[in-house]
Structure 1
């Protein structure tokens, strides 16, 4: 399936030298998706979202601490981006018949323009995410920075092309992101512990567990199996050890972070909605 957004020839010519240097052969075909998405998210984060938030939430947003405003702006971009990426990835996975016909070698070395389009949008977002996390580590934390580095590496390696098939499947990690960000915004909007937050929390746990833990682990195992087949294929195109290692390390980092965040998420949600015990009630009464 072709990329439905044709690349401009001028941009292809401009990015070819960089692509040859980095051995990312299909990168010039999708630079027109990476650069505009990076630019758009930068504009949203620095200008449009702060402007809109001041007008939509005049009693809340201006009174937030600078660190919280930074997190608010970034989470708003993350919310919008995840909706776009989820829609694009699900559409291509469903419609791209070339992907459906791929065997193990195709899933490791194959490429379709439509999959590259989604990876281009993802790379633009993760490039922006890396810049924001690196510039605000004290706000977003080292875990978010590690996630941005690993996700960008997986996205860019898809332009070699390498595991372009699986890179698109891993984009579906973002299915849980809208619920995660809505949960955070509910806290800031005075909806902590509300029924709406409980419903959103259930959806968050369900989508996070299904997309990142179950789906992500299943896709990782399948990817490792296909890599091994590519290694052993006689007369085929072997996987360079450094390339397999880079992809495996990046993907494993994402998987470890997902399991770690899931544990923290369960703990946080339990604190939000657990009723205090009788002993706690009595203690509170005495105090």
Structure 2
């Protein structure tokens, strides 16, 4: 690992990454294996018709949501762990304080967003997904150069409910009471965690950037600053899209009617779920 460590610390400048490199690699490889092997196998076994009857591109989207759900289940508790046990020196120095717990959480996040960015490019569907993946990867990777980024707040709490909502669409439960209840949790989590709490974190982060702007390279200031603005903007954009999508699903008598084949049974009147 000596040559690799030298490349990472000297060439890339990620001086804090080497102790967390195994975590990063296991994260990337683990999510890749789930995407390519475990998710397709489990989906064919448990949802033979809902998964097996859709085109390959749609099957890939299904597997992506499986990976996303596993990441959400892992990263939310890890983020809360890092935040709860944050040492006093880290809390007192937002710019340069360091905590190994943050390193582990960011290593897992970097592995996931490397996988996410590669998939968003290879299986391109929307430029927003590419921008989001690359921005998150850049911000969390650069935390191994500077300690500026805070521990990732539990953003993925809303992702957990978003994936459930998506799978309900694909298994014939669009417009159901269960999806309505899940939609309430989804919007509440997204608004409370990503927009309100995340907005506060973003404002504090920008203030810290401005305070230490003369002590950090301008590249850090640009990447962290622009990345923060881009991610915050995407969150507000996606929130409006979620509200519109939920309105379409639960607007009585106005939803488009669709016939679905779920596990060999024809289901009608499930709205406009994608």
Deviation at 1:12, TM superposition (A): 6.4
Counterpart in 2 of 1:93? 83
Counterpart in 2 of 1:65? 55
- Across the aligned residues of Structure 1 and Structure 2, the Cα RMSD in angstroms comes to 1.5
In the superposition, relative to structure 1, how do residues 242 and 14 fare at CA in structure 2: closer, same or farther (>3 Å)?
closer
Structural mapping, 1:184-263, within 5 Å = 184-231=166-213, 238-263=215-240
Structural mapping, 1:25-44, within 5 Å = 25-44=15-34
The structure whose residues are more often helix, as a share, is 1
Pairs aligned (count)? 254
Deviation at 1:82, TM superposition (A): 1.0
Structural mapping, 1:134-213, within 5 Å = 134-138=121-125, 141-164=126-149, 166=150, 168-169=151-152, 171-213=153-195
Counterpart in 2 of 1:284? none
Flag structure 2 segments of 5+ consecutive residues without an equivalent: 255-274
Flag structure 1 segments of 5+ consecutive residues without an equivalent: 1-10, 233-237, 278-287
Contact 1:12 1:29 in 2 (8 A): no
In structure 1, how many angstroms separate the alpha carbons of the residues matched to 2:202 and 2:106? Answer: 17
Taking structure 1 as the reference length, what is the TM-score of the superposition?
0.85
Contact 2:8 2:15 in 1 (8 A): no
Counterpart in 2 of 1:3? none
Deviation at 1:216, TM superposition (A): 1.3
SS at match of 2:98: coil
In structure 2, how many angstroms separate the alpha carbons of the residues matched to 1:263 and 1:247? Answer: 25
Counterpart in 1 of 2:261? none
Counterpart in 2 of 1:55? 45
Deviation at 1:84, TM superposition (A): 0.2
Deviation at 1:273, TM superposition (A): 0.5
- Deviation digits for residues 187-212 of structure 1 (CA, Å, limit 9, x no counterpart): 00000000000000000000011111
SS at match of 1:110: coil
Deviation at 1:240, TM superposition (A): 2.2
Contact 2:132 2:231 in 1 (8 A): yes
In structure 1, how many angstroms separate the alpha carbons of the residues matched to 2:82 and 2:28? Answer: 21
Moved over 6 A (4+): none
